[in-house]
Structure 1
Amino acid sequence: MAEGLPVTVTITKVVKESPGVTTVFFDREFESCIGQFVMVWVEGTDEIPMALSYKNAITIQRVGDATTRLVAMKPGEKLGIRGPFGNGFRLHGKILAISGGAGTAPLLRVGLECPDVTFLMGARTADELIFHKMLTEKCDVRVATDDGSAGFHGYVAGLLDEISLDEYDTIVVCGPDPMMRSVLSVLQKRSSLEKSQFSMHRYMKCGVGVCGSCCMDPDGLCVCRDGPIFSGLSLQNSELGKYHRNAAGLKEK
């Protein structure tokens, strides 16, 4: 692609994964490491960061103007894609994947492409579990729902009580910040942080570490340039799960 410019792609298929989550496929594959992200330009609306759930697709949770426009798009419409950007997961050995809600999407390829994976999947209700059937065909999947409508009744971190962490070489985590903070706390207590990696999500304007909108306290690391994958050890004293940031990068508790 021309340096810094998005590649135009055509939407080929739109799949509704759950009441609030949609996958949009396009006519080009982007070679990427599992965990990298792209900047998605929606003409006339905004450009936002999205993880690649497949090499040719993004999975969207409707939360704002750009995502609302994205989930309403139809095959034949166009998007602009910049990237992939950032680092990916460092995957080896036996893998434990832990996801919450739409955080299953950035971990999907771990379950589909890696040979020895246990997948802990959390959601508010059974209807909000995404990629469940597909993943159960590839790996050992265990489910938690907040309302008890499927699997364990409670948060996904509760499933760790049934897991021997010593059996795993790599632990990967993605989901809402409070969920990831609770998982980080469990891993810290059980001396497993050194083999954990967390996929962080922040609002970004540039995707390459220039604008600073995705910087994290206390070290000033940029999610786009230094992440989006961070070791659990590096997040122990970070802002993860303590407060949110708005589109201007300002703290919101």
Structure 2
Amino acid sequence: MLRHHRDNWRGETELRLNVETLIGSPRSVRLKGVVRENSRTRTLLFEEAMETCSITPGQFLMVWVPGIDEVPMSISHWDPPILGFTVAPIGSSTRALCAMEEGDWIGVRGPFGKPFQISQSDALVVGGGVGAAPLRPLVYSLVEQNTDVTLLLAGKTAGDLVFVEEFEKRAGDRLSLEIATDDGSAGFQGLADMATEMLCDRCKPEIIYTCGPELMMYKLVKIAQNRGIEIQASLERFMKCGCGICGTCAMDSDGSMVCLEGPVFTGEKLRELTEFGRYHRESTGVKKEY
């Protein structure tokens, strides 16, 4: 079973893929390893044998769970030829993924989506629970370009956190790790937005990158606006195609599609989207308020 491996995020890996492959049938891959991140969350690793397009932090895969459904999954690991994503059991598809073992088969399409626009400015990276998944490769990319990074991993409890041990070992001159939990079971006791305010005062970041619960990110976008700090956030929405055909992930008020124009959006764009932080759509298309 694969437990640790060195990721290669030095720029974009130049590989090739045509559009027909992207939107076509999933390619079958066999799991090479399953990593237990906490009591609920798993990282699934597989070998990507075919030539794919460039992979950049923030992009996602459409993952087909045989007999159930296809769901979007942020890429959290990329060490060619090993590719991986980190998943928590939320619905039927993700519960099935979390129950899988080495040797099981899944289908994948992609990668898709607009990634993080990586800056050389001092950064605060805020991950809420499993939302830390697309931020993991981002942190490595930032550090490798000699950017000073403060990483905040936040969750309701210590048991909700992921990648803590890994980043404790990697922390050093360019990377500082901070922990926050609602119940105080690890690190700072308080919500992620409270810890973000504190770290903005202490570290003076020029840009914030974030992924996690939408209400958390909504508060962070407000903090960034009030402080005049640039921010980029990765959103989650129901998706069926992953490439702008079905329109399932279109957002109010202008129809921006998360799969094409996101999943990473700037703070400026998020402030224009009337549904951000207020409601989302269920798989049926019905609006559900936060």
Superposition TM-score tier, normalisation by shorter sequence: over 0.9
Pick aligned residue for 2:74 from 37, 51, 57:
51
Instruction: Determine the C-alpha separation between the residues in 2 that align with 1:102 and 1:143.
Output: 14
Match of 1:126 in 2: 158
Matches within 5 A, 1:172-211: 172-192=209-229, 195-211=230-246
Cα offsets for 1:143-171 (capped at 9, x unmatched): 11010111111111111232347843432
Q: Which amino acid aligns with 2:236?
A: H
Structure 2 residues not aligned, in runs of 5+: 1-16
Match of 1:143 in 2: 179
Instruction: Determine the C-alpha separation between the residues in 1 that align with 2:62 and 2:198.
Output: 38
Deviates further, 110-119 or 92-101: 110-119
- The alpha carbon displacement at 1:66 in A equals 0.5
Matches within 5 A, 1:75-90: 75-90=102-117
Instruction: Determine the C-alpha separation between the residues in 2 that align with 1:47 and 1:65.
Output: 11
Instruction: Determine the C-alpha separation between the residues in 1 that align with 2:32 and 2:158.
Output: 28
Structure 2 residue matching 1:163: 3-state secondary structure: helix
Pick aligned residue for 1:13 from 26, 33, 41:
33
Structure 2 residue matching 1:140: 3-state secondary structure: strand
Matched, 1:113 2:150: no
Match of 2:42 in 1: 22
Cα pair 1:124 1:146 within 8 Å, conserved: yes
Structure 1 residue matching 2:195: 3-state secondary structure: helix
Pick aligned residue for 1:214 from 249, 272, 280:
249
Structure 1 residue matching 2:131: 3-state secondary structure: helix
Deviates further, 220-229 or 137-146: 137-146
Instruction: Determine the C-alpha separation between the residues in 2 that align with 1:178 and 1:137.
Output: 30
Matched, 1:252 2:272: no
Q: Which amino acid aligns with 1:9?
A: V
- The alpha carbon displacement at 1:242 in A equals 0.5
Q: Which amino acid aligns with 1:207?
A: G
Q: Which amino acid aligns with 2:259?
A: C
Q: Which amino acid aligns with 2:190?
A: G
Sort the Cα spacing of 1:178 and 1:164 in 2 relative to 1 into closer, same or farther, 3 A.
closer
Match of 2:265 in 1: 230
- The alpha carbon displacement at 1:136 in A equals 2.4
Matched, 1:98 2:98: no
Q: Which amino acid aligns with 2:233?
A: F
Structure 1 residues not aligned, in runs of 5+: none
Cα pair 2:208 2:224 within 8 Å, conserved: no
- The alpha carbon displacement at 1:244 in A equals 2.4
Instruction: Determine the C-alpha separation between the residues in 1 that align with 2:197 and 2:116.
Output: 24
Instruction: Determine the C-alpha separation between the residues in 2 that align with 1:188 and 1:168.
Output: 13
Matched, 1:33 2:33: no
Deviates further, 163-172 or 29-38: 163-172
Instruction: Determine the C-alpha separation between the residues in 2 that align with 1:57 and 1:190.
Output: 35
Q: How many residues align?
A: 251
Pick aligned residue for 2:189 from 153, 166, 169:
153
Deviates further, 165-174 or 47-56: 165-174
Give the CA RMSD over aligned residues.
1.6
Matches within 5 A, 1:60-75: 60-75=87-102
Percent sequence identity is 39
Cα pair 2:180 2:191 within 8 Å, conserved: yes
Task: Give the TM-score, by structure 2 length.
Answer: 0.82
- The alpha carbon displacement at 1:232 in A equals 0.6
